[in-house]
Amino acid sequence: MTKLEIITALAKKTKGVDKVQIQEILESFLEIIKERVAEGDNVYLRGFGSFITKKRVSKMAQNITKGETILVPEHHVILFKPGNEFAESVRYSTKIHTYTDNKKKVEKPKKEKAIKEKKSKTKTPKID
């Protein structure tokens, strides 16, 4: 869902408020969240989720392409932790679509010769 789709959905739910006003409110809302998280504060939206900043310590890592060891500096990451109500509504939803390739995975047909060779290599002992 894009920002424009959110604005359109909000306009339908809040009759009498035009899309320009909704866009201004949404932009302000998102800007406040960005500012607070950038300052190191956590943002808690009860029933929806939390935006949390975490500090990652510096560490040594391997650059696979060059084959050298590099130092990854200390940095902060943003985490989103969904609230219980939100997580449960997603967990038990039957309307979720998964995105997959349009290409169907086709299994290669097994060759009869290969199957016969495997059977002949694995001899079962005869019991008298």
Residue 120 belongs to some domain of the structure? no
Residue 30 and residue 51 share a domain: no
How far CA 46 is from CA of 16, 81, 85, 92, in Å, comes to 27, 11, 9, 20
Residue 5 and residue 22 share a domain: yes
What would the mean pLDDT of 116-120 be, rounded to a whole number? 56
Average pLDDT, the chain: 83
Total-model pTM: 0.62
Residue 56 and residue 18 share a domain: no
Q: Sorting pLDDT into bands at 50, 70 and 90, what band is 45?
A: very high
* pLDDT higher than 60, residue 128: no
Residue 15 belongs to some domain of the structure? yes
23 Cβ neighbours under 8 A, 6+ residues apart = 7
Q: How many domains does the chain have?
A: 2
Residue 86 belongs to some domain of the structure? yes
Residue 119 belongs to some domain of the structure? no
Nearest to 69 by CA among 79, 57, 59, 77: 59
Residue 112 belongs to some domain of the structure? no
Residue 127 belongs to some domain of the structure? no
Residue 63 and residue 33 share a domain: no
Residue 33 belongs to some domain of the structure? yes
pLDDT tens for 51-91 read: 999 999 999 999 888 889 999 999 999 999 999 988 988 88
Q: Structural domain of residue 68, as residue ranges?
A: 42-93
